[in-house]
Structure 1
């Protein structure tokens, strides 16, 4: 696309230099928009995904859900532990029994993660899983081993000294709250939340597929405002500046145009050579500069549409 734009401008230069006419615009190019690729922030199956190409979405809108069963259960477990802290400080006997039950649960979960790691290692060897998935499981196992060690230490302290054990339990509240916040964030990231208002340009995923962190789900762009990326010659460059109001127009029927007010928002600080398809050495030596003109869209402008810019339009 870039070379087509420069090529069109080069034909303008060539036509002028050959004395065969002069076009009635100062720059031409194609309309662009700021595009955002929305990616998954959690691993798991896509349980729901309502995005369709052409949909108009608002910022903050929930458009999908990724399975977060495991972090949800972990969040509930930590919350239950926090709720039980106060009760566990009253009597060391029931407190010890409660911690022991928690220890059994943690040991069972750890064993399950050991089996999951073995399965994932085999999948990695057969290229059916990624190294990132295996690293996540290893990190989870390391965290669970630390939690298991802390629980065993808690039981030992309770058996030796009730007062000391009570203080230890209360001091664990801060770490448990951090774990709770961590799991809550994982659950939150299971939601696919649209970041900007705009129109969906492409969809890359479907309901039922497996999502991975960083996997693109869809592409969206705000088409309320578009940018005409055009190219001007070195001779035209001194006539323009940032913030300058110009006229942008598009074709509207045979020999008719539809005009829009525009504002120059960017001027490249580097020049570019016209393409080598221009055969004469003199024309290949000409330089052009890329610019962007912001235009308010009335729904008629489309991404990729051809447009022209006029610095001083004739009335």
Structure 2
């Protein structure tokens, strides 16, 4: 009877010792998670995102109250219009002097011809030249004044346009949108609540780009390189496991103590190196799922 017990225990011991696992490292799946926070303060008028929704990058899913900002923008636009209305029309305001100069130039040519024929005096020509000089000085002064006024008005208008641009930027920040295409993992606010700048509104992650963070011992580093193709086995519980092709995209430059939840080929190793392995998600891989790596 004792002999039977001893022989019967041998397969069980072999099975338990065989649990060393045909893998080189283990870890858990993770994704790049982004917490979307409010960029403006005010009441949340609309927030249509729900946990599990897949959002496109830049698609608006909510809005924070913008009434005061919109009214401020309208006020600035009216101010800009008022400032621009005072801009002088240089061409029209200088037209009268230019017309007088043109008449005097015509008169000068007439007197000059008469002077050649002896029908006019040199004084008459000198008087016209003096008048032309006076009119030219008046035109230069007028143009300088008008141009300075126009530049001043344009500068004031540009300053108001910058203020309008600032308000438009603040209005854009009242839109709630995901900066990346991804799935809503958590929602922290609802419509009707008050938002403050920096308050978290939702957490989003791109689950199509998922990674296995695995840990390797120092003696395995020689077998690791960026871009290396490996086999990743996802453990769905029980005996359900699926293999996925993976690619090493990051290897830590510094070691760390082995996390308690992680197994390595050498479980006695105190220091390990983290590595991220990119895996194409077929929709079954989830954040936190256990996985194994075979080099």
Please give the TM-score of this superposition, normalised by the length of structure 2: 0.68
For 1:223 and 1:276, the matched residues in 2 are separated by 26
- Counterparts of 1:205-216 in structure 2, within 5 Å, are 205-216=189-200
Unaligned runs of 5+ in 2: 1-15, 90-144
Asked if the contact 1:49–1:64 (Cα under 8 Å) also holds between the matched residues in 2, the reply is yes
Asked if the contact 1:276–1:284 (Cα under 8 Å) also holds between the matched residues in 2, the reply is no
Offset at residue 276 of structure 1 (A): 8.5
Of 162, 166, 178, the residue aligned with 1:194 is 178
- Structure 1 match to 2:25: 27
Q: Is 1:83 the counterpart of 2:97 in the alignment?
A: no
Offset at residue 206 of structure 1 (A): 0.7
Residue-by-residue CA offset, 1:233-270 (whole Å, 9 max, x unaligned): 22222111111000001236754531110001111122
Asked if the contact 1:44–1:211 (Cα under 8 Å) also holds between the matched residues in 2, the reply is yes
Q: Is 1:62 the counterpart of 2:60 in the alignment?
A: yes
Residue-by-residue CA offset, 1:79-103 (whole Å, 9 max, x unaligned): 1121223433579xxxxxxxxxxxx
- Structure 2 match to 1:185: 169
Structure 2 residue matching 1:224: 3-state secondary structure: strand
Aligned residues: 220
Asked if the contact 1:200–1:218 (Cα under 8 Å) also holds between the matched residues in 2, the reply is yes
The alpha-carbon distance between structure 1 residues 222 and 275, as it changes in their structure 2 partners (threshold 3 A), is closer
Structure 2 residue matching 1:52: 3-state secondary structure: coil
For 1:205 and 1:230, the matched residues in 2 are separated by 34
Residue-by-residue CA offset, 1:16-49 (whole Å, 9 max, x unaligned): xxx9443201111100000000011111110111
- Structure 2 match to 1:230: 214
Of 159, 165, 175, the residue aligned with 1:175 is 159
Offset at residue 285 of structure 1 (A): 5.8
- Structure 2 match to 1:112: none
Q: What CA RMSD, in Å, does the superposition of the two structures yield over aligned residues?
A: 2.8
Asked if the contact 1:40–1:213 (Cα under 8 Å) also holds between the matched residues in 2, the reply is yes
The alpha-carbon distance between structure 1 residues 254 and 269, as it changes in their structure 2 partners (threshold 3 A), is same
- Structure 1 match to 2:273: 289
Offset at residue 186 of structure 1 (A): 1.2
The alpha-carbon distance between structure 1 residues 163 and 263, as it changes in their structure 2 partners (threshold 3 A), is closer
Offset at residue 216 of structure 1 (A): 0.7
- Structure 1 match to 2:201: 217
Asked if the contact 1:38–1:219 (Cα under 8 Å) also holds between the matched residues in 2, the reply is yes
- Structure 2 match to 1:42: 40
Asked if the contact 2:84–2:157 (Cα under 8 Å) also holds between the matched residues in 1, the reply is no
Unaligned runs of 5+ in 1: 1-18, 92-160
Structure 2 residue matching 1:270: 3-state secondary structure: coil
- Structure 2 match to 1:301: 285
Asked if the contact 1:275–1:284 (Cα under 8 Å) also holds between the matched residues in 2, the reply is no
- Counterparts of 1:74-113 in structure 2, within 5 Å, are 74-89=72-87
The alpha-carbon distance between structure 1 residues 169 and 308, as it changes in their structure 2 partners (threshold 3 A), is same
